[in-house]
Amino acid sequence: MFKNSYSQSRIIKKDNKLYVQKCYMTIFGIKWYFISTFFWNYPYVADPKERFVRELDFFLDNTWKDTVIVPKLIDIDAKELCITREFIEGDEINEENIEIIAKGLREIHEVGYVLGDTKISNFVIVNRSKLAVIDAEQSFKSNNVYYRAWDLVVFFLFLSYKIVNINHFQEVAKRFLDEYMPDKNITREFFDIKNINLMGLYPPTHLYILKNLMSNFY
């Protein structure tokens, strides 16, 4: 879940086109053994095959309709647990396009998926209107409101470290919430005591701002 200096993926070039090759049985996936133990609130999986299957299910789903796009798969190696997919060029998530990720995440939840790993680097914005999900190895089908709230908790954690200024964070967070429109159940689950292990990583000022903003959705 947390960005580090290693990766399971690498960019390859073939016939003057860029692709991303991801192999799940590398040592770089060991982080999930620690994350799944400490962040027990969400059913994270560490097993490479399970992560492989989860990502395939998400990328091969054909129900995406409005805002969300996923990369096309070029090759699937079920023996080595590797995939090769198209390289999606796009813009990073920032304060200018925050409504697009809010709308996209709402669509993902409405379709019936949760992601678990909603750090900002797992998304890119395409053509200023589409949310491309480029990492979904912890996703699975679920309408559980708590898991939807967990997606928001993780996302806002990373956003709070990207936008340090509290006034700016408040403005951007409000625009996100006005687009996503969490109902009272998601808002209640967001601040559930079960999330204390992740809430403890928040800057206190940013968490206070979120509590005030989300109180409008009770």
pTM above 0.85, yes or no: yes
Query: In whole angstroms, how far apart are CA 77 and each of 74, 84, 134?
Result: 10, 9, 18
Query: For residue range 75-108, what is the model confidence (pLDDT) as tens digits?
Result: 999 999 999 999 999 999 999 999 999 999 999 9
HSE (side-chain half, CA atoms, 13 Å) at 136: 28
- Whole-number pLDDT of residue 1: 40
Distance (Å, whole) CA 16 – CA 11 = 12
User: What local confidence, expressed as pLDDT, does residue 2 receive?
Assistant: 39
As given in the structure block, the two tokens for residue 108 are 């993902």
Residue with tokens 């709230």: 149
